[in-house]
Amino acid sequence: MRSQRQLRVGEEIRHALAAVLIRGDIPWPPDFSPPVVTVTEVKVSPDLKNATAYIMPLGGEKLRETVRLMNDGASFFRFEIGKAVKLRHVPKIRFMADESFEAAQRISDILNDPAVAKDLDR
């Protein structure tokens, strides 16, 4: 169970990352055309020294490449978070693909399956 402080710091970091992504001054490689990226959640460790940001590019396109490039530029994001959020120590940030949309779609597909739907109608 995450503490109130972890949740609050995670939300602050999420807002700071979203602002950086909206500004668009991220040093992407020249041959990469970046998709619109959404930061869905940021989980912070209990000691507030590590953070995991879950991201999802619009439409899920270039997901793996975007996550890899954002992890390569994690120091840039950490610096930008440090400017935006007042913390004693800025957490090390790691980016991961948000797979909750895929899980929700799998559940929806299972519930809409005719074999399952007949049991739900009872």
Q: What residue segments make up the domains of the chain, in order of their start?
A: 4-120
Strand, helix or coil at 14? helix
Mean pLDDT of the chain: 89
Q: Which residue has the higher pLDDT, 116 or 76?
A: 76
d(CA 75, CA 81): 10
Which of 65-74, 87-96, 109-118 has the least mean pLDDT? Answer: 109-118
- For residues 29-46, give the mean pLDDT: 92
Number of CB atoms found within 10 A of residue 97's CB: 17
- For residues 23-39, give the mean pLDDT: 90
CA-angle at 67, arms to 66 and 73, nearest 5°: 90
Which of 38-47, 83-92, 96-105 has the least mean pLDDT? Answer: 96-105
Q: Using alpha carbons, select from 105, 80, 103, 104 the residue that is nearest to residue 90.
A: 80
Architecture of domain 4-120: 2-Layer Sandwich (3.30)
Residue 121 has pLDDT above 70, yes or no: no
Give first-to-last CA distance, the chain, whole Å. 37
pTM of the predicted protein model:
0.83
